[in-house]
Chain A
Amino acid sequence: MNYLIDRRLNGRNKSAVNRERFIRRYKEHIRRAVKGMVAERSITDMAKGGDVKVPAKDISEPGFGYGDGGDWETVHPGNKEFVRGDKIPRPERGGGGKGGSQSGSGEAVDDFVFSLSRDEFLSIFFEDLELPNLMRTAVAEAQDKKFVRAGYVKEGTPCNLSVPKTMKTALARRIALGGPVKEEIESVREELEAALLEGKPQFFIEALRERLDVLERRLQRLPFLDEVDLRYRYRVAVPRPSARAVMFCLMDVSASMDERKKDLAKRFYTLLYLFLTRKYERVELVFIRHTDEAQEVDEDTFFYDTQSGGTVVYSALELMHQICAARYPKSEWNIYAAQASDGDAFGADPAKSARFLREYLLPISRYFAYIEVPDDNSPGTSSLWVEYDQLRSADLNFAMKRVFQPQEIYPVFRDLFRKERAHA
């Protein structure tokens, strides 16, 4: 008997678990490769998967085998001119003609290369990263409600009717009410049979028959389903803490931010953006770019549009504050912000910005990160850095870093968003 089965609809990712194990085992190699990829990539390619190379030596599975040397004979097909006793110079690599049935030993030397999918890439990329300080006070200001099951009740709307529970109740009722009647029917019936056997008088038998009839009709009147059987699922509202977050991305796009610096800043934001969109379904993003005036833009414009002009950092901070006031009240939202600039601010702007930041923005923010992309790698002397530096010691929820080369972006990023150990 032969069977023909269509298996095409069965699961296709049977090897996924093994693949995942392989990746876990060689995580170190993969992590190193991912780090290298981030430094090399353009912004648009950032979130693609990539090739990872693992040296063949590291993943070989050993087994006993023959090394070079010793006597060998091999048989080959396709002889054209050889006759017995012909001498052939030994090929370069030792060992010459090793068993024809073995596939050449040269194969295994290549590095083992494989592709990470976008998801795998990102999960390694953002491993151990977390938004700091999230949810700390959000619980107290709970706004959201969630309905949870809380047993059964006798009244409710039809859509909440619980059929299994109702049927169970009905069954219980029928047993409870019908039981004694059934017992009585049984006894009357026995009595009747006995009476018939003994030849009791007719009226006596008639009376018994009538009694039986009454009882049976009573049993029949027991409804299968009664109003009192109905049971409804009950739900109560339980307040739920909200973990809504909004992330402000502030970027300086003034003339002093040349392409290199903008590229650095954008790389940082790209990482941030990928991180947030991956990690949180409920994070809203606000992109603000500024020259001497600030604009709220959408993500495409933010990353790919070019613009230039003067620099007023203050304008961006002010816009952020306005937006917060209008759309993201502190009581309902966890507010985060990251700012990138080359630190070239003039006149009163740096001091004013720092003050504004301290007085208005830091109190409402969970975390504020500042990334500086300087002209050269000298220690921080930019006017904005000097002013911001004073905030650093005072405020726990403020962090700042300098980034000079693309390679530094990833470590700095990791540093800023490292998982809080204390809460982990």
Chain B
Amino acid sequence: MSPLSAYSDRTNGPLPHGPEWDFELLERYDRVIAETAAEYQLDTYPNQIEIINSEQMLDAYASSGLPIGYPHWSYGKAFIRHEQSYRKGYQGLAYEIVINSNPCIAYLMEENSLMMQALVIAHASYGHNSFFKGNYLFRQFTQADAILDYLVFARRYVMECEQRYGMAEVEEVLDSCHALSEYGVERYRRPQPQSAREREARKSELEEHQRKQFDDIWRTLPPSAPASQIAASGQFPTEPEENILYFVEKHSPRLAPWQRELVRIVRKTAQYFYPQTQTKVMNEGWATFWHYTLLNRLYEKRLVNDAFMIEFLHSHTNVIAQRGFDQEGYRGMNPYALGFAMMSDIRRICEHPTDEDRYWFPELAGSDWGTSLDFAMRNFKDESFIGQYLSPRLIRDFRLFVVADHVGKAELEVDSIHDEHGYKRVRRMLADLYKRENQLPEIQVTRYERDGDRSLLLRNQIYRGRPLAEDEANEVLRHLGRLWGFPVRLEAVDAEGRVDGYREWRP
């Protein structure tokens, strides 16, 4: 039984269309979209679609889309900023906000027209939703089942702390944590701590192995310095730690337990957002591709009429408009445009490859587009996705070019353009724009003088000669110092390992 025939039994002709929506209509649209999504085997969490008004949308904006948050002035600031620019008409509001949770919650604005609601349901509840469920970063770093409970816990905990220790105290800790929140994320999974039984099992396994491998000849080798010796030399941590908040939480000599818990809350929240920052292009591209594909399929099945389609295409083209660098309102690459173009391009390469495509993407050309696209969605983040899939054809379509701004040169130089020589380099450079090193300086904890003055040493590995922003760095150091309670130092180290700059904060 195909979903198509199953549906056409129930209705005759297309779904009603008009500017006004009601709940019954939304349900009917949602049902056909769900059936169409099932045709394409989109794997999603269950959906929870909520209708909100503009004021609630502003509230949601202020808390980065989370339905529950702990109270803090910075959210008030965000709220005031959005409200102000909305009231003055500088900024429209999003049509939807979607939350990576299970069930997947999507907020729809009540002002949307019926077509818009259908678009948004397809976009958020089936596009984003399946991305949240499938992409490896989200799978690794966020627990969709637990996030809402955690937020409730965080809010309650912060408010209890405020009652017990005073609002100012709590605010101070949170301020300092927020300054470091970008350095409170795990980029790679930490191994799970072993339980005593696992340790025991591993030890006996090792002994058994050694027993089997025993050979007296090994005793004749000169002994090498064991790893434990480094630790014994007082160097701590033995490996640099890039998660500064994690290090503070675990090792700060000053923080009280409740303050550590606050650090943890900020860290966990930042971690929850980390995958979203790394997959903006993919996530939006995926969702846009699917609302486009699903609604077009509805049209093919004659479930929506021409008027609906015209209205839809109008909105869709607005979303994926990419302005040129010299045009009014240019704000860099539009993630919707780039993402949608790349997703559609993968489908094109699979279905109708040219000779060029066969040369550049031999494994894609002619394969099943559904499988290939699904693979791309699951296993990449923006940087690697662009590095892997940006085709010469798209580089030409977007007319991309690279401008190099090098500190030693008086002028900017056009590094590459969309030509035979340039494709690879343009692709590499565009991918690099989405690299974390490009957005944030690399800073790690390298030493904690546990037995000395308890100072903390951070190291900034200078990336391509780019210095830290002075004032801000000093501010952040002050915040870190407040959490640490003892001197905090930050040294900048260039590629050869020479110390290039040094700053310090003392309590």
Contacts and interface: CB of A to CB of B under 8 A. Distances in A.
A7 B326 contact: no
Given A21-B71, A62-B472, A77-B324, A5 B84 contact: no
Nearest to B183: A64
A78 B324 contact: yes
B114 to A, nearest CB: 14
B49 A2 contact: yes
A103 B414 CA distance: 21
A87 interface: yes
A397 B125 CA distance: 70
Interface string A1-39: 111111110101111011111111100000000000000
Given A3-B48, A78-B324, A84-B422, A70 B466 contact: yes
Contacts of A70: 407, 462-467
B441 interface: yes
Contact of A86 (B103, B405, B414, B438): B414
Nearest to B415: A73
Given A63-B179, A79-B418, A88 B439 contact: no
B42 interface: no
A1 to B, nearest CB: 5
Interface in A94-109: 95-97, 99-104
B481 to A, nearest CB: 13
B467 A22 contact: no
B49 A4 contact: yes
A109 to B, nearest CB: 13
Q: Is the interface of A mostly helix, strand, loop or mixed?
A: loop
B399 A79 contact: yes
Interface stretch (A112-120, A222-230, A314-322, A329-337): A112-120
B77 A59 contact: yes
B507 to A, nearest CB: 18
B71 A71 contact: no
B52 A8 contact: yes
Nearest to B338: A77
A178 B49 CA distance: 58
Interface stretch (B145-153, B188-196, B424-432): B424-432
A84 B416 contact: yes
Contacts of A85: 413-414
B473 A76 contact: no
A5 B48 contact: yes
Given A19-B80, A64-B441, A75-B402, A97 B74 contact: no
B264 interface: no
Contacts of A63: 179-182, 472, 476
Contacts of A19: 76, 79-80
A20 B468 CA distance: 34
A76 B403 contact: yes
A78 B34 contact: no
A113 B83 CA distance: 11
Given A63-B182, A63-B476, A87-B411, A8 B51 contact: yes
Contacts of B470: 67
B207 interface: no
B327 A78 contact: yes
B332 interface: yes
A75 B327 contact: no
A106 B252 CA distance: 36
A277 B37 CA distance: 61
B400 A67 contact: no
Interface string B437-448: 011110100000
Nearest to A21: B73
A411 interface: no
A82 interface: yes
Contact of A5 (B49, B53, B401, B479): B49
Given A6-B23, A79-B401, A88 B413 contact: yes
Contacts of B179: 61-63
Contact of A72 (B75, B107, B404, B434): B404
A14 B56 contact: yes
A88 B414 contact: yes
B58 to A, nearest CB: 7
Contact of A101 (B103, B410, B434): B434
Contacts of B332: 76, 99-103
B76 A69 contact: no
B108 to A, nearest CB: 9
A79 B48 CA distance: 43
A66 interface: yes
A89 interface: yes
B404 A73 contact: yes
B398 A77 contact: yes
A90 interface: yes
Contacts of A88: 403, 411-414
B86 interface: no
Contacts of B53: 8, 12
A97 B412 contact: yes
Nearest to B474: A62
A6 B110 CA distance: 9
Contact of A82 (B110, B175, B401, B471): B401
A22 B411 contact: no
B417 A84 contact: yes
A331 B26 CA distance: 68
A99 B73 contact: no
A100 to B, nearest CB: 4
B106 to A, nearest CB: 10
A83 interface: yes
Contacts of A73: 402-405, 415, 429, 432
A74 interface: yes
Contacts of B468: 64-67
Given A64-B441, A78-B325, A114-B80, A100 B414 contact: no
Contacts of B80: 19, 22, 112, 114
Nearest to B323: A78
Greatest chain B CB density within 10 A among A85, A95, A101, A112 is at A101
A258 to B, nearest CB: 40
Contact of A66 (B63, B333, B469): B469
A69 B407 contact: yes
B266 to A, nearest CB: 12
A84 B471 CA distance: 37
Interface string A145-182: 00000000000000000000000000000000000000
A17 B155 CA distance: 13
B51 A5 contact: yes
25 contacts: A2-B48, A5-B49, A5-B51, A7-B51, A7-B52, A8-B52, A14-B63, A25-B171, A64-B468, A64-B472, A65-B468, A74-B402, A75-B401, A75-B426, A75-B430, A76-B324, A77-B322, A78-B398, A79-B418, A80-B324, A87-B411, A87-B414, A101-B439, A102-B332, A113-B84
Given A18-B73, A69-B407, A73-B403, 5 more contacts: A3-B46, A61-B178, A64-B183, A76-B324, A83-B414
Task: Please name the 7 residue pairs, one residue from A and one from B, whose CB atoms are nearest each other, closest first.
Answer: A78-B324, A70-B466, A22-B76, A18-B76, A100-B332, A62-B475, A76-B325
Interface of B: 23, 26-27, 30, 34, 46-53, 55-56, 58-59, 62-63, 71-77, 79-81, 83-84, 103, 107, 110, 125, 171, 175, 178-183, 322-327, 330-333, 398-407, 410-419, 421-422, 426, 429-430, 432-434, 438-441, 443, 462-473, 475-476, 479
